[in-house]
A and B are shown apart, each in its own frame.
Chain A
């Protein structure tokens, strides 16, 4: 290895740095600089005074958040929705992948794959529209059928009790096919000689699934689970916000929508920043914890 001086090596590579520069600058401006705005979480932040001119309030915003009624609903709502989504969304892609792995007709397999991937490509606005088409009070299919059968029309989409189910299962519908892709490729990578010798020993398909397929995709499944656990406190804003209405708010208000309303709706910048910061910290702790546990248990880690 030739030990050229660093300045020489830097100059030699200027064109490569030029290729990285746009992304580097973008990340600096749009991602790293806003981090110093987290100072606002400890201030009575006023935009015209700036981060260094606003009054310092210490942990007051955090204390306020922990003592509001919102804390008692928003945090449990968030955790409930993401845990429910995690549990409901986890096994189905694996089941679909294993199912397709044992479909003998290649054409049928391709057909199922193509159709089940499609929902992944529609927008969330469209997804929520479709939910309305099925569950809306005046035009929804379920209510149309109920009325035709002599039952009353119900406000399904305004029910706080039903909201988590609609939220989670519409997400499962949208994600199951797409989520199965990596499992399908993992199953395709299983050593065929394992299956061959198992077959010679007289193992049925079900036995081969249990003793060959499932163990070989388990590490991947654990990794996926870890990655998702890191977001347990961040239920995406986009879909919840679309599905919210004044009647289901008791179960549909989550941290991200709360931050949006407090911050941009009511201009309580410092407070909303504090809530956001709290969420981010919990997420990071969760990710590290789950990763450590899984390292101990199965030697699977995301790094």
Chain B
């Protein structure tokens, strides 16, 4: 017995080391970008920036604030996120609820109709050509409508409603003469604040982080979301870094410093909200896993 307790103690020590390793590996890359964004490039290039910022400068941030594209990128990203998330919610949540109602005729068939989309689809080119026929390419609407219904999230909602809204509650409301929409708005929704939070965040972070839809469907550079602006910046500096290895001029130096700053600017809203929202996210994953 004593030997086992001894072994368990060794295990616990190693376990702490392992957990700390996981923590540091997750944290360090993020931390590194933060310290680079306020360190002088010459200190970075000579490999002196490791753990704390060196020769502190805010030139990168200053340059970033001067870029018009960043501001318009921010503006459009916020717009796409707000409108897109609202559409996501109105399309996904009522449908998810209605599909939990067992008396609904053709419920199984409608469920199948949604589930099948996870296995079959037209793929990129047919979808693109169809959007083109609908004159949606290069419009505001394509960016907020693409992915408006997430079947996976709909399933999460359905599972939540099934497990958390007692059927008797709905039945008694019906006896009292409430309409279906009334029941949903006045009884179900107030009881479902946590799933509403989860869904809002899933969708909003998705919109905030996406660049694919804009890359494919948006040709107009003046309406680019922030992620696409960042990508353009990434590519230009990639050409420089991978292309020439010659003298660094001041403009390039500022640009490089700015790159760290833009990375932070693009992630900041999500990472700032993160401590408050992460428990909802975890909840969402758990609900999904029940049925998963």
Verify that A and B bind, or say they do not. Answer: yes
Which of B15, B99, B260 is close to A133, meaning CB atoms less than 8 Å apart?
B260
| A138 near B240: Cβ-Cβ < 8 Å | yes
CB-based nearest A residue for B36: A133
Which of B1, B133, B230, B289 is close to A202, meaning CB atoms less than 8 Å apart?
B1
List, in ascending order, chain B residues with CB within 8 A of A247's CB.
Answer: 242
List, in ascending order, chain A residues with CB within 8 A of B113's CB.
Answer: 24, 27
Q: Does A158 contact B (CB under 8 A)?
A: yes
List, in ascending order, chain B residues with CB within 8 A of A35's CB.
Answer: 120-122, 126
Name the distance in Å between A37's Cβ and chain B's nearest Cβ. 3
> In the complex, A109→B12 CA distance in Å?
13
| B292 near A20: Cβ-Cβ < 8 Å | no
List, in ascending order, chain A residues with CB within 8 A of B55's CB.
Answer: none
List, in ascending order, chain A residues with CB within 8 A of B29's CB.
Answer: 119, 130, 133-134, 173
Number of interface residues of B (CB under 8 A): 106
Q: Does A107 contact B (CB under 8 A)?
A: no
Q: Does A273 contact B (CB under 8 A)?
A: yes
Q: Identify whether the interface residues of A are mostly helix, strand, loop, or mixed.
A: helix
| B18 near A34: Cβ-Cβ < 8 Å | no
| A245 near B242: Cβ-Cβ < 8 Å | yes
List, in ascending order, chain A residues with CB within 8 A of B260's CB.
Answer: 133
Question: Contacts A99-B19, A103-B16, A117-B281 given: A125-B92 contact, CB under 8 Å?
Answer: no
Q: Which A residues, 85 to 104, have Cβ-Cβ distances below 8 Å to chain B?
A: 95-96, 99-100, 102-104
**Residues in B lying within 8 Å of A, measured CB to CB:** 1, 4, 7-8, 11-12, 15-16, 18-20, 22-23, 25-27, 29-30, 32-33, 36, 41, 44-49, 90-92, 94-95, 97-99, 101, 103-105, 110, 113-114, 117, 119-130, 132-134, 145-146, 148-149, 151, 154, 179-181, 184, 205, 208-212, 215-216, 227-228, 230-231, 234, 237-238, 240-242, 245, 248, 256, 259-260, 263, 266-267, 270-271, 274-275, 278, 281-282, 285-286, 289, 292
List, in ascending order, chain B residues with CB within 8 A of A181's CB.
Answer: 282, 285-286, 289
Question: Contacts A35-B121, A126-B230 given: A182-B292 contact, CB under 8 Å?
Answer: yes
**Among all A-B residue pairs, the 3 with the closest Cβ atoms:** A37-B126, A34-B122, A123-B209
CB-based nearest B residue for A102: B15
> In the complex, A15→B182 CA distance in Å?
10
Name the distance in Å between A143's Cβ and chain B's nearest Cβ. 8
> In the complex, A123→B227 CA distance in Å?
8
Name the distance in Å between B257's Cβ and chain A's nearest Cβ. 9
